[in-house]
Amino acid sequence: MKKVLLYIFSILFFWIFTGCKINSPSFSIKNFLPISTFQSTTTGVVQINKSTVNLTENGSSSTYTIVLSKQPTSVVSVQITIPDRLKINQTTGTLNIEFSQNDWNVPQTLTLEVPDDDLLQGTETVSVTHTSSSTDSSFNNLSIDSLSVTIADDDLPSISIVESGGNTIVGENGSTDNYTVVLTRQPDTDVTIQFDVGSSLNPITSLTFTNANWNVAQTVTVSAIDNALVDGNRTATISHTSTSTSTLFNGLTASLSLTIQDDDTASVLITESGGSTNVTEGGATDTYTVVLSHAPTADVTINFTTDSQIQSISSITFLTSNWSTAQTITVTATNDSIAEGSHSSTIAHSATSTDSNYNGITIPQTTVSITDNDTASVSISKSTASVSESGTTDSYTIVLTSQPLSNVTISFTTDSQLQSISSIVFNTTDWLNPKTVTISASDDSSIEAAPQTSTISHSSSSTDTNYNSLTITNMVVTITDNDTAGVNFSKTTTNVSESGTTDSYTLSLTSQPTADVVVSFNTGTQVTAIGNKTFTTSNWNTPQTVSVSAVNDSVAEGAHTGTIAHSLTSGDTNYNGLSVSDVSVNITDNDTEGITRTETGGSTDVVEGNSTGDSISFVLTSEPTADVTISMSFNSSQIHVNQSSSSPASIVFTSTDWSTSKSVKVVALCDAASDAGVENISFSVSSTDPKYSALTLSNVNVNITDNPDCLKLNGTIQSGTVSMSGGSNQTISITTVNPEKAFTYCNFKYSGSGLNNLVTCQLNSAGTQVEIKSNTAASNTVNWYVVEFATNAGVIAQRGLKSFGSADSSLDHTLTTPIDPGRSFVLGYVRTTSTSNTNDEQRLVMLEIVDSTTIRFSRGETGIALDVEWQVIQLDSASVQKGTSTISAGSTTTTASITALDLSKSFLIFNHKAGNVAGCEADFMTRGRFSANNQLTFNRSGTGDSITISWFAIEISRGATVQNGSEAIANNVITNVAVTSLTTNKNMIVMSNSISVGNGCAITLDSGTFSAAFSSSTNIEFERFITESNTGNIDWFTVEFQ
């Protein structure tokens, strides 16, 4: 009883003074009394005398004991689970110990050890766990405390460096040295060693050690950078740094000091040009270069010492920046008056510098060979002269360069082209007085090659051996001949006609050629080609006849002229390529300008609405010299000419197709009036060809037969609803329609908020299928209509695909068949691969009709790629007003004024693009309607971005019945709208909608798009996927084409 009271007191004491709750995880009864003191009479305890142990991998050990708390009724086995890094009682894995009824209270000692290894594992804490088993249920499968063992690793890593031979020495001359690198401990991940070699050594590639090769030394080869400095032997340091994902091996460092041996010796290098230095008194100089062999540490000045034979040379200086740039020394001889013959001189060099390697350095001398300028020779004042066979002469002077010892006679040698020249004599007193020599040409009758030259050679004779038989410069004489090459013409003007009248003239040469002369004729386009004429050395002065005839062309030119140009070829250079006169040819024309116009059957007769119409053909009577345009003016409200809805229309004839007949189709337009009668077409002709620009054409009367039923379209409609699942494209087979007389219209209920839900619809080219496509994983509901018009209805339908690249903002498309913009509208559907719902500005594309052959696609912001399926429909019975309107940012409404319409026959088609400001779906969801018969109104609820709307107000004068209305859908998925009873398979639904901003920018495609379909002949059902608490406002039209 005392023990129980003591136990209770201890618990209360701990609770009061520590604030610890008894049921706290930190509370333990074992903190107060041995468990054996309070043993249950039914449950035993396996007692561990320690809860933690600290060990080191270097071989230290520790012990703990295990004992039972009471005597068991049978043997108790305790199984000990040993962690991988431990041994207990020299055992790894598991160890069993047993307690019997006799030794249950004798503690069993267990010894813990950590085997040493080379692995770097750091400090680690592991647990030794215990389980018990016994047939004594009080000891079977007890919960036994585990032993926490903290193990400190004794392996510290480092980088080990071993130098070959105990040191590392490299040389700038290319000698290298090696050392090895290895890790001292085994890493668990790769370790890379990086080398910092400084500026004097070549880079060393990093080394990598792995868990497998960490203790295998890797060899590093060291080499020095060969600089140009004379800097002596020096030391350098290589720093080693490790990088590794293992924190134990990352950032290890080691360094190596080594010696670099210099290979540079200072010297001054002298290089003579051509290998020697040779100069002439009063004449040629020579050069040599000076340069340092290695970079100095200070400026080096080179001084030059010359004797009286050489002019002085200024000193030069090499800087530390230009030491390797050779400096040129020019050597000039002293021009004295001494006749010395060839002799030599020496240039000595010395160096001064604060760089001891260069100051006072020994520099080689330069030996200079000098040529004397005092020599015996004959000087001629010039080496060329010019004379003519007509009598013009020339002259030059001759003088000696030094005093001779005796008389010097100069003789002249000439050829047959020059008259002979008498010799002249210089004596010892007049040797320096120039003597004049006159040159005259021999006048012959031959034509010499130009330029004609002759040479006068000179010779000297004297008992003074210095002047005897000297080499004297020749005189080259240019001789102008007075015999010229040319062609004689009997006349230079001829007269011919395109009807066949010819003319002629004769040719002969003015002088005898040395080879055959061939005359060729270039007659141009107006004169018939002429064969070559040949003159020989024997018939050169015999006239040859040239016959001239005109080319009979198709151009109405009137009286005009041609030119015959002549070219000469010959082996006689005097005649070869000689320029001679042209011969002018006056030509009488046989062509007349004119336009032949032919009406089919002699008149032009058309029926209202009949696209076959009637035709008028045109052809020119002669070839024009420039394009000829025939313009046709007409009443465009009654007839169209050459597929043009605006007056005037035109056709063009060129110089290549002037003789090909061109046909112009004339059709009468449908109208509601009974107005059979006559319209006329007037014509004007324009051309820069003056012959055709002056022509006129009379009017053509167009006889029109009235056709009250021509405006009827006789449209039939196929329609249906299709669901897309997970992006699968749909192809709907239909009763085959004429694709040139049909179009497709669709409305969509999107089931998702992203742009990946965008869907297009299109009629295929064969008219057999409706193609519903998405570029991504769309799941939507599509209501489709295919409207086909009667074969004779005035309808033209064209379609295609336009793809936007991510950077495209505007694209134009040229239509195959021109349209009348006043009777046409355009439809477009967009799909994209983008899955983002933040790119609405980029996916909104506006379609416009620019002119009769061009439609334009544009958007306000680029960024994503788009595919646009488009259709252009022309209805002859329709009057289409078109335009663009803008709702500015901050506004919800815009209006557009139009010419008043019959709203029972009119409906509205539009599309739009956004600005480039990130807006909400509510900014872009727009509805449009006729707010009056002369006004359009467009509404939206969001105001964050501007939108531009391209609209088409379509009135069909005959063959259409239209109902319209507006409906507000308040927080509903499905709404029904009543209409006047109609034939559902003859009607299509055209709709647009805006969405309230009740949920702000959370408005998405799945709450803001509606499908529309007839649920009966008197009801339209509008449906969306979800509401998002938004109110939709729908403007709708039902259109029946009769």
pLDDT band with cut points at 50, 70 and 90 for residue 737 = very high
Mean local confidence (pLDDT), 883-909? 92
Structure tokens at 127: 């647990």
Are the C-beta atoms of residues 179 and 162 closer than 8 Å to each other? yes
Domain 159-261 fold is Immunoglobulin-like (2.60.40)
SS3 of the chain: helix, strand, coil, percent, to 5: 5, 45, 45
Please give the sequence-ordered ranges of beta strands (E in DSSP) within 621-736, or none if there are none. 628-633, 639-641, 649-653, 662-668, 677-687, 700-705, 716-723, 730-733
The pLDDT score that the predictor gives to residue 495 is 95
* Element of type H or E holding 949: strand 947-956
Cα gap 163→177, rounded to integer Å: 9
Residue 11: φ, ψ to 5°: -65, -45
Domain positions in the chain are 1-33, 43-152, 159-261, 268-371, 378-480, 487-588, 595-705, 716-1041
Q: CA–CA separation, 115 vs 571, rounded Å?
A: 112
For the range 842-846, what are the long-range contacts, defined as Cβ-Cβ under 8 Å and sequence gap of 24 or more? Answer: 842/866, 843/755, 843/758, 844/912, 844/913, 844/914, 844/924, 844/947, 845/804, 845/911, 845/913, 846/884, 846/911, 846/912, 846/913, 846/948, 846/949, 846/950
Residues facing residue 343 across a β-bridge: 370
* CATH topology agreement for domains 159-261 and 268-371: yes
Element housing 692 (H / E):
helix 690-693
CATH class held by domain 378-480: mainly beta
The percentage of residues in the chain with a pLDDT greater than 70, rounded to a whole number, is 90
- Concatenated DSSP letters for 230-261? ---SEEEEEEEEEEESSTTTTT-EEEEEEEEE
Do residues 179 and 111 make contact, with C-beta atoms less than 8 angstroms apart? Answer: no
**C-alpha to C-alpha distance for 205 and 217, rounded to whole angstroms:** 15
Taking alpha carbons only, the member of 606, 664, 679 closest to residue 630 is 664
* Over residues 549-558, mean pLDDT: 86
Tokens read off for 14 = 């701990």
Phi/psi at 336 (5° precision): -100, 180
CA distance 764 to 747: 18
> Whole-angstrom Cα distance, residue 930 to residue 952?
12
Query: Which of the residue ranges 352-361, 492-501, 576-585, 723-732 would you say has the lowest mean pLDDT?
Result: 723-732
Per DSSP, which regions of 389-492 are E strands? 394-400, 408-413, 424-426, 435-439, 452-461, 475-480, 487-489
pLDDT 10s digits, 42-98: 688 999 999 999 998 877 899 999 999 999 999 999 999 999 889 999 999 999 999
Per-residue model confidence as pLDDT tens digits over 814-846: 999 999 999 999 999 998 877 665 677 888 899
Residue 620 CB coordination number (10 Å) = 25
Place of tokens 């940012």: 889
Give the domain 595-705 fold. Answer: Immunoglobulin-like (2.60.40)
When the candidates are 2.60.40.2030, 3.20.20.80, 3.40.50.300, 3.30.870.10, the CATH number that belongs to 268-371 is 2.60.40.2030
In sequence order, the 6+-apart residues with CB closer than 8 A to the CB of 543 are: 488, 490, 506, 507, 508
pLDDT value at position 19?
45
**298 DSSP 8-state letter:** S
Short-list 860, 915, 858, CA closest to 891: 915
Residue the block writes with tokens 């400001």: 917
pLDDT value of position 27? 43
Letter for the amino acid at 286?
D
Q: Is the pLDDT of residue 876 over 60?
A: yes
Distance CA 401, CA 431 (A): 8
- Output the pLDDT for position 673: 64
d(CA 462, CA 426): 10
| pLDDT tens, residue by residue, 781-798 | 888 999 988 776 778 999
d(CA 642, CA 667): 9
- The structure's pTM equals 0.41
Closest CA to 969 of 881, 1028, 923: 1028
- Nearest of 790, 789, 738, 802 to residue 765 by alpha carbon: 738
In the chain, % of residues over pLDDT 90: 59
Token duo for residue 616: 């008028």
CA distance 847 to 870: 9
Yes or no: is domain 487-588 CATH 2.60.40.2030? yes
Residue 648 tokens read as 């005037």
Mean of the pLDDT values across residues 586-612? Answer: 89
Q: How far apart are CA 553 and CA 84, in angstroms?
A: 112
Domain 43-152 has CATH 2.30.30.90: no
Buried b (16+ CB within 10 A) or exposed e, 436-463: ebebbbeeeeebbeeebebebebbbbbe
Which pLDDT belongs to residue 1006?
60
Contact 757, 1008 (CB under 8 A): no
Residues 826/871, Cβ–Cβ less than 8 Å: yes
In contact, 99 and 70? CB cutoff 8 Å? no
Interval 638-673: pLDDT, tens: 889 988 878 899 999 999 999 999 999 999 887 656
Report the C-alpha gap between 732 and 722 in whole angstroms.
Answer: 8
Q: Across 340-474, where does the E strand assignment appear?
A: 343-353, 366-371, 378-380, 384-388, 394-400, 408-413, 424-426, 435-439, 452-461
What 3-state class would DSSP assign to 885? strand
Using one digit for the tens of pLDDT, what is the confidence trace for 522-542? Answer: 999 999 999 999 999 999 999
The one-letter amino acid at 11: I
Task: Determine if the peptide bond prior to 203 is cis (ω within 30°).
Answer: no
